[in-house]
Amino acid sequence: MTQHFTLRLAQSRMLAPSVRHLAFARTDGQPFAFTPGQFLQIHFAYADGKPTKRSYSVATVAARHAAAVDLIEIAVSYVPGGAASALFTHLEDGGTVEASGPYGRFVLGEQDANRRYVLIATGTGITPYRAMLPQLAAQMRARAVEAVLLYGARSESELLYGAEFEAFAAAHASFRFVPCFSRGARAQPRAHDRLGYVQTVLPELTPDPGRRHRLLVRQPEHGRSVFRGAEAGGSADPAHPPREIRLLALSACARRLHVCGAATNRVHAGIGAPPPRIRKNVPPSTYEIVQFGKA
pLDDT of 209 reads 52
The CATH code of the domain at 3-103 is: 2.40.30.10
Sign of the C-alpha dihedral, residues 58, 144, 290, 180?
positive
- Sequence ranges of the domains in the chain: 3-103, 116-293
pTM score, whole prediction: 0.76
Specify whether domain 116-293 bears CATH 3.40.720.10.
no
pLDDT of 64 reads 65
| Residue 224 DSSP class | H
Peptide bond into 51 cis (omega under 30): no
Calculate the CA 237 to chain-centre distance: 28
Is the per-residue pLDDT at 152 higher than 50?
A: yes
Mean model confidence pLDDT for the chain: 76
pLDDT tens for 30-59 read 999 999 999 999 999 999 999 999 999 999
Spatial CB neighbours of 263, under 8 Å, sequence gap ≥ 6: 278, 280
pLDDT tens for 60-79 read 998 766 668 999 999 999 99
Q: What is the CA radius of gyration of the chain?
A: 19
CA distance 53 to 57: 13
Same fold, 3-103 and 116-293: no
